[in-house]
Structure 1
Amino acid sequence: MKTTNALPAHPRRHGRLHPARLATAFAVVALAACMLPNPADAATAVSVFPSPGTRYNLAGTQIAIRGVAPAAIGALTVVGSVTGAHTGRIAADSDGQGASFLPDKPFAAGETVTVSTGLNILGGKGGRFSFRIAHSAPPIPYAKLPLVSAGSNGVQRFRSRADLQPAALTVTENSAPASEGDIFVTPQFGPVQNGPMILDPQGNLVWFLPYPVATSTLISDFRVQNLYGQPVLTWWQGNSNSGFGHGEGVIFDRNYRLITTVKAANGLDADLHEFLVTPQGDAYIAAASPVTLPGVAKPTIDSVIQEIDIQTGLVLFEWHALDHVPTSQSYFTPKSPGYIFDPYHVNSILPDASGNLVVSMRDTSAVYDINHSTGAVIWTLGGKSPRFKMGPSTSSWGQHDAIPQPDGTITMFDDGGGPPQVHPYSRGLRVRIDTRHLTATLVREYDHTPPISANFEGSAQVLPTGNVFLGWGQQPYFSEDTAAGQQIFDAHFNVPTSTYRAYRFPWSSQPLTAPSLAVSPNSDGSLSLYASWNGATDVAAWQVLAGSSPAALAPVGRSRKRGFETDVMLHTVAPYLAVRALGASDQVLASSPAKATPAHIALYGRSVFVARTGFAGVPASCFARHRCHIAATVSAGRTVIARSGREAIAPNSAGVVYFQLSSTGQRLLRGARSRRLAVRIDLADASGPTAGANFNLVPFSTAGRGPRRGVTQTGGLRLLGLTDFVSADGVGGILAYCPQSSSCLARTTISAGRTALARTGAEFLGPGEAGYLTFSLTSAGRRLLAGAAGNQLGAHVSLSGTGAPTDAQVGLVGFS
């Protein structure tokens, strides 16, 4: 990924200066003075990283100097006990409150590096300090992500965005205030795609950025953060193995555009456990540094914390667990299972009110407060050597996401799962610490109903309302409790994927991309439109547009927004379609590109009436810019019982496709139970479109020539046949179609002489569509049909409601 938006210079929380970023770095040659510091700067205590006396720094380390203007750093000498004097250059931090010396060549493993300055170095002596270089072990190799099975309902799929296939989820409880915002999760194990995922308060997808699982790319720690006073989306992405990540932090703006990526420095890779962005333009990250220790046969993982200047990529702070926390404090030993020795496993970092860092370590089951200037451990909560007297139920095991709260408490997700399992279930935990009396007391537990046990991962976020939003780590659940501990929201992925953390934030965005539209013809001639806009939060409704060209579209329908993708049924012969996203006040937010209506065919009804000779027909429509040539195939189970020739039907018109049952088909119909043979009729146009539906074949019989038939007046509706069929209880249908470009409403009147046989209300027919206009005979009509010669009753049909009436003489034929 490349930076797309420039980052402005901003002061950091611990500084007073706000100079413009230095345009260029200036070269520094070791042992040569660039300029002399002034006395005031020399007297100011300056922090350096690597910190004086540290022993596990990497060969590619830079030397960060913080708390002094870059121009006042003065002369530097950098000498390695093996590599000798080092040349390099000074690169200024973006806030003007420090700089880093970037050596031209790496240091040597095991050597001591001595730095001489004219500054007052915290932990140094006379402006001098030294540090050692670790013996690095080979990096942890990447591993392929395990995938969960999709099952029958594990994946969401959308017609308008077939490229998006996020994990499906179910909300089982939801009385949480919607005003608390949207939900941010990162499914980790597919089934099809991983990626950052925003859900609305009801659990519907809002935004998803897919990462194919084939790349084994893991996404974690997805949330809203504040950068320079603006809301941004951030997450970590990369590969992983043994619980560690090799990747980078990602920052998107509120329109889902990449701002920049943030990488670890000094030869490390950013770990998956933390990507914390500050409003001032810093990022806190964790990193795993494999090193070789005397007497330890396997690589030891040194947990490293870095504060990175987002604009420059320079180190502002660096801390190594091996320098400050004895490995004996870990509940894991070099003899523990596995090919590495992982004594610490940092999984959360957050500055407290004083600017020091509160850090959680899973493998010591402890939380630490670390001095931001010197790296010294101020206090330890939990673990083998707590600084506090731990009250009942305050100890955690393998905890994650330790967050100092404004009221002086600390919240965390207490996994408790192991191995070994210490607590029977996981929980959210809020502990009050008294740094004066050195006590830790339980404030509240936040449990899941039913109880859940997670071996790893998890989060506990205190919302502005006081409610607590919980991600259950290894388990596929995320939930919300009130401040009093009552569960008011619960959701889970439908398959056992998981999210490293789960968050809830207010979020509003109008993407710069256009809405998406998919159009799917239905077998009855209607169109299903599917509208979506990945990432849009303010859509209230969708307006459907149709027209003769992309430049001549007009509204023809609308539907309120329903979930990520809204489906709208449409009856139209317009060759082009589009959708508009409408806001709460019906303002137009954006429009999709116009899409050509796909050529399609349709068939109608659910019963086909078969003469004694086996001859029958099915009504069909042609929705295309050319004449259709449609053939029918009729099947009873796996047996084909009829194939027709091709019937020509004009564009955006309707007709009847006739077929002749085979002898087998006629035999099956004669033997069918209740005189109904269930069949499948499939139509295929010569140009490719198809349609199919299930029907009942119904036999009928007549005798004699029957009554006179004919159309006496053609109006706004057309008849497709002059024989119409009526059941034994008097229900029948007039087969008609709508020949115009807009929908038709049809009212049917049937009479015999002066006797009214049936009258209907308005029925809908879409443009170019056919259908049966259903009627029910009066008792007089049923008597007349029952007594009609040859089972054929002559009747007058009048269709009105659209344009001039259509009148015809038809024959009504009974069937049983």
Structure 2
Amino acid sequence: MNVLSRRVRRAAVLSAVCIVLCAPSALSAPLLPSPPVAALAYTVTVNEPSGAPGYVYYSNGVSAAALVPGVAQALAPLPAVAAANIVLDKAGHEVWRYTPPPGQDVSNFRTQTYQGKRVLTWWQGSTVAGHGSGADYIADEHGNIIEKISAPGISGSDVHEFRLTEDGRALITSYEEVSADLTAIGGPKDAKMFDTVASVVDVASKRVLLRWSAAEHVPLTDSTEPGLLPGASTYDPFHMNSIALDPHGDLVISLRNTSTVYDVDIETGEINWQLGGKRSSFALEPGVEFAFQHDAEFADPTTLRLFDNNSSGRTTLGLSDVQWIRLDVDAGRASLLRKQVHPANLTAYAMGNAQTLPNGNTLVGWGSAAHISEFTPSGQLVYDAALPLGTYRAYLSEWAPSA
């Protein structure tokens, strides 16, 4: 197939994606999410000198469209969207790539630190019904795999989180299908649902230090999306998508389908507080509104930062943004410090993250909206790239892997 033919085919797929996403029956509100394809190739549109130096890390593949029926199947045959972990310089030139074995996806590709050394980490496996079944990998600076970790359970590690702590632990998500009585949310009495689990694992010994089940701690009635995922036969009332540590060493857990962020005692598993959703522990001051969020973590000891999707694909409430929320735990009040939207008014129905950079700027992966951007603290756009398919998360690192 020549270059022109490939471009025509990709353009046709982009049109098909738009049709699927923009069909009136696909949404319960008139607002529409942005399509998961933004360019035929990684295309840099803004690259100001005031941006942070470094290399862009992201994962390519069909998982960005996993929640939308028909889109993943339409995109899968195209070479431009083959599953891969990719590193580029900020001009958009590829400097490193990892391609998994045929039939496997990769996601959540980034640099981290393990045993005092800088490493590459990612998830690898199969993507089903909006989550993953596989394992987490740690590789050295050359891409040689040195550790493979799987969360306890039949399905292994999920795609959403693999975060290393300074003391050698890993924070890992996993999904398990369980029997459940769903009459409390209008479902059948004898049904199947996905429990979603946060595990804390000692990487060196593979010992599980904590296993926190959402089903054991969060009422089904807290779900803001009680329906089935598109194309699935199992309810997903919680949908965990990030785990981080709070300033005290406890867990910060984001559940997309309750539109809530939870602070969980890492020793007992008890919920210390919850932000947003139906039973917030905080009085929310003007501007603190988010839904179907991703990547909740502390930017400083009193400020929680999250990626507010504001859309589930079925329900779209407004534009996506990054929010910095000041938490006064003693007073039980949450106030908005700042909010960042994309100049193109993007709405990501899935995925997304934000990263604080050493120069104070913020890198934002716009998830299914298929952009990667960098903003100054005042909100100036200093870097922007359009992607051939959305990416779960994006990161900037000052170093790149070597051969």
TM bucket normalised to smaller: 0.7 to 0.9
1:200 aligned residue: 89
**Cα 1:272–1:336 shift into 2, 3 Å:** closer
Distance 2:59 2:361 in 1: 21
1:332 aligned residue: 225
Normalising to structure 2: TM-score of the pair?
0.82
Distance 1:336 1:273 in 2: 16
Aligned-partner SS, 2:324: strand
Aligned-partner SS, 1:465: coil
**Cα 1:296–1:395 shift into 2, 3 Å:** farther
One of 212, 215, 237 as aligned partner of 1:322? 215
One of 60, 76, 90 as aligned partner of 1:187? 60
Distance 2:366 2:108 in 1: 13
Aligned-partner SS, 2:221: helix
Distance 1:387 1:262 in 2: 34
1:502 aligned residue: 394
Alignment of structure 1 residues 68-87 onto 2, 5 Å: none
What displacement does 1:308 show?
A: 1.4
One of 302, 305, 309 as aligned partner of 2:202? 309
What displacement does 1:280 show?
A: 2.1
One of 240, 261, 266 as aligned partner of 1:346? 240
User: How many corresponding residue pairs?
Assistant: 348
Q: Bigger relative contact order, structure 1 or 2, given CA contacts below 8 A and separation 6+?
A: 2
1:492 aligned residue: 386
Matched, 1:280 2:173: no
* Cα pair 2:87 2:400 within 8 Å, conserved: no
Alignment of structure 1 residues 119-518 onto 2, 5 Å: 150-151=6-7, 168-175=41-48, 177=50, 179-189=52-62, 191-192=78-79, 193-211=82-100, 215-294=102-181, 295-333=188-226, 338-493=232-387, 495=388, 497-511=389-403
Aligned-partner SS, 2:348: coil
Distance 1:272 1:302 in 2: 15
* Cα pair 2:308 2:322 within 8 Å, conserved: yes
What displacement does 1:153 show?
A: 9.8
* Cα pair 1:248 1:270 within 8 Å, conserved: yes
Distance 1:501 1:363 in 2: 19
Range 189-198 or range 229-238, more displaced: 189-198
Aligned-partner SS, 2:215: helix
What displacement does 1:301 show?
A: 0.8
The amino acid of 2:223's aligned partner reads S
What displacement does 1:179 show?
A: 4.6
* Cα pair 2:59 2:106 within 8 Å, conserved: yes
* Cα pair 1:154 1:169 within 8 Å, conserved: no
Distance 2:94 2:193 in 1: 41
What displacement does 1:508 show?
A: 4.4
Distance 2:50 2:379 in 1: 15
* Cα pair 2:228 2:234 within 8 Å, conserved: no
What displacement does 1:445 show?
A: 1.0
The amino acid of 1:248's aligned partner reads A
Distance 1:285 1:501 in 2: 15
What displacement does 1:315 show?
A: 0.7
1:633 aligned residue: none
Distance 1:315 1:445 in 2: 37
What displacement does 1:269 show?
A: 1.3
Distance 1:181 1:280 in 2: 26
Distance 1:485 1:442 in 2: 15
Distance 1:178 1:393 in 2: 28
Aligned-partner SS, 1:323: helix
**Cα 1:492–1:236 shift into 2, 3 Å:** same
* Cα pair 2:96 2:401 within 8 Å, conserved: no
The amino acid of 2:166's aligned partner reads P
What displacement does 1:450 show?
A: 1.0
What displacement does 1:363 show?
A: 0.1
The amino acid of 2:350's aligned partner reads F
Distance 1:488 1:372 in 2: 38
The amino acid of 2:275's aligned partner reads L
1:690 aligned residue: none
1:100 aligned residue: none
Distance 2:371 2:302 in 1: 28
**Cα 1:301–1:510 shift into 2, 3 Å:** closer
What displacement does 1:266 show?
A: 3.8
Distance 2:363 2:189 in 1: 41
Aligned-partner SS, 1:354: coil
- Larger helix proportion, structure 1 or 2? 2
* Cα pair 2:340 2:379 within 8 Å, conserved: yes
Any stretches of 5+ residues in structure 1 without a counterpart? 1-148, 156-166, 512-816
**Cα 1:508–1:439 shift into 2, 3 Å:** same
Q: Identical aligned pairs, as a percentage?
A: 34
**Cα 1:504–1:466 shift into 2, 3 Å:** same
Distance 1:330 1:235 in 2: 29
What displacement does 1:424 show?
A: 2.2
Range 302-311 or range 343-352, more displaced: 302-311
- Larger strand proportion, structure 1 or 2? 1
Deviations 1:598-644 (A, max 9, x none): xxxxxxxxxxxxxxxxxxxxxxxxxxxxxxxxxxxxxxxxxxxxxxx
**Cα 1:404–1:297 shift into 2, 3 Å:** same
The amino acid of 2:276's aligned partner reads G
**Cα 1:509–1:302 shift into 2, 3 Å:** closer
* Cα pair 2:129 2:229 within 8 Å, conserved: no
* Cα pair 2:61 2:105 within 8 Å, conserved: yes
Distance 1:283 1:464 in 2: 23
**Cα 1:370–1:440 shift into 2, 3 Å:** same
**Cα 1:205–1:394 shift into 2, 3 Å:** same
* Cα pair 1:195 1:219 within 8 Å, conserved: yes
The amino acid of 1:175's aligned partner reads E
What displacement does 1:341 show?
A: 1.1
Aligned-partner SS, 2:7: coil
The higher radius of gyration belongs to 1
Aligned-partner SS, 1:186: strand
The amino acid of 2:199's aligned partner reads Q
Deviations 1:331-367 (A, max 9, x none): 1226786411111100000011111000101000010
What displacement does 1:205 show?
A: 0.6
What displacement does 1:314 show?
A: 1.9
What displacement does 1:168 show?
A: 2.6
Aligned-partner SS, 2:216: helix
Deviations 1:349-386 (A, max 9, x none): 00111110001010000100000000000000000110
Deviations 1:571-607 (A, max 9, x none): xxxxxxxxxxxxxxxxxxxxxxxxxxxxxxxxxxxxx
* Cα pair 2:52 2:357 within 8 Å, conserved: no
The amino acid of 2:294's aligned partner reads H
